[in-house]
Amino acid sequence: MNSRKGTGGRAAGGAGTVLCALLTLAGCGGNQASKALTLTGTGGFFPLPLYGKWFHVYESKHPGVKVSYEPVGSGGGVRAFVEHSVDFGTADSAMSEDEIERVDPDLGAQLLPLTAGCIVLVYNLPEIPQLRLSRKAYAGIFLGRITRWSDPLIVKDNLGAKIPDMPLKLVVRSDASGVALALTKHLSTIDSSFFGRTGIGKMPDWVVGTRVRGSDGIMASVEATPGAIGYVAYSSAKDRKLPMALLENKSGTFVAASTASGRAALGSAPLPDDLIAWIPDPEAKDAYPIVTYTWILCYRRYERKKRDALVELLTYSLDDGQKDAEALGFIPLPPPVVQRVKEAVKTIGVIT
């Protein structure tokens, strides 16, 4: 592959440090690592628990290959991929047509959905273990229409619960996030005024809320602030054991995030030829309302050794790797989606 330019070299080095620290991978550093073929990647925090498990298992079975991944957010993953400072990127936001067009045409771009997850609203109300939020209520929170927990829209769906009369403190992300893109697509679908006021994007112009960096920032802020509420991936909230609201879906059912409710949502939207599908408001009665795929961003051509290693890694992720998804808070891909992605993986070629 082309030599790394600009910050690419530093990113690759940082990735190894981060991955070793987070996952305690055997063989990081030393002479063994210097002799190994290294696949460098960067991107979203959202899939890190599952990707980290996959990379660790793959390395244990392929001692001659190292996978070095640095979580910097979906926006950073797309930028690094476009700049070709990594071998692969990841993004919960996929890529726009403009971003794909900026990839070196000699390399091309192939987006592959490898897993999916629910986006949940975590909150700090110790006296309310199971909060229910209607579509009007949670849209109103993000639009600044609801500022107190005792708002009638919240109280009416939580009869019998002791909803406190206290300020509602929304926490949002300040950095680019694919999770924010999926959330704002959903909110714009269920409330037409949201698009005009906040917009759809990885870094939306939130009209209300305290801005913090990263999902960890949101969770830490919610945990430390009575009356706070924020949005994160289900996998993150599950790992941290944070309370998650039941959300009203399009059919009027209040649904908890789970593997089953997430798969019901995925089943409502077939994958198009480019493998980029959005499900802004699934119709199934048992579907969780806010679900997104997350993608690995690959080039269409690599040097042979890197191509072979990457294809092996992707194939493992689509086969045995899917068995790890549910335990870590992700949605295993439906078999038809797995087959479609496998066919795309086979098209990744070699630079001649």
What tens digit of pLDDT does each residue of 198-220 get? Answer: 999 999 999 999 999 989 999 99
Max CA distance (Å), the chain: 68
For the chain, the distance separating the N- and C-terminal CA atoms, rounded to the nearest angstrom, is: 11
Tell whether 250 and 122 lie within a shared domain: yes
* 287 domain residue, yes or no: no
* 278 domain residue, yes or no: no
* 27 domain residue, yes or no: yes
Tell whether 67 and 123 lie within a shared domain: no
Tell whether 100 and 123 lie within a shared domain: no
Tell whether 61 and 50 lie within a shared domain: yes
The C-alpha torsion from 130 through 117 and 185 to 341, rounded to 10°, is -160
Q: In the prediction, which pLDDT does 352 show?
A: 85
Helices 304-318 and 335-345 pack at an angle, to 10 degrees, of 170
CB atoms within 10 A of CB 319: 11
* 77 domain residue, yes or no: yes
Please choose, from the candidates 115, 116, 76, the residue with its C-alpha nearest in 3D space to the C-alpha of residue 99: 76
With b for 16 or more beta-carbon neighbours within 10 A and e for fewer, the 211-250 pattern comes to ebebbebbbebbeeeebbbbbbbbbbbbeeebbbbbbbbb
Tell whether 146 and 254 lie within a shared domain: yes
Q: CATH number for the domain including 143?
A: 3.40.190.10
Q: In the prediction, which pLDDT does 219 show?
A: 98
Tell whether 100 and 132 lie within a shared domain: no
Domain count, the chain: 2
As a whole number of angstroms, the distance between CA 256 and CA 276 comes to: 25
Please choose, from the candidates 273, 45, 279, 17, the residue with its C-alpha nearest in 3D space to the C-alpha of residue 175: 45
Q: In the prediction, which pLDDT does 137 show?
A: 98
Tell whether 166 and 244 lie within a shared domain: yes
- Report in angstroms the alpha-carbon separations of 163 from 127, 169, 227, 246, 254: 8, 15, 10, 15, 18
Which string of DSSP letters, residue by residue, matches 176-193? --HHHHHHHHHHHHH-HH
Which residue ranges of the chain lie beneath pLDDT 50?
A: 1-33
Q: In the prediction, which pLDDT does 34 show?
A: 54
Which domain range does residue 316 map to?
8-116+292-350
Tell whether 203 and 310 lie within a shared domain: no
Residue ending a domain, among 266, 284, 312, is 266
Tokens 């091309």 found at: 108
* 276 domain residue, yes or no: no
Tell whether 102 and 127 lie within a shared domain: no
Q: Say how far residue 116 (Cα) sits from the centre of its chain.
A: 7
Tell whether 183 and 261 lie within a shared domain: yes
320 neighbors 344 (Cβ within 8 angstroms): no
Structure tokens at 161: 């619960």
* 283 domain residue, yes or no: no
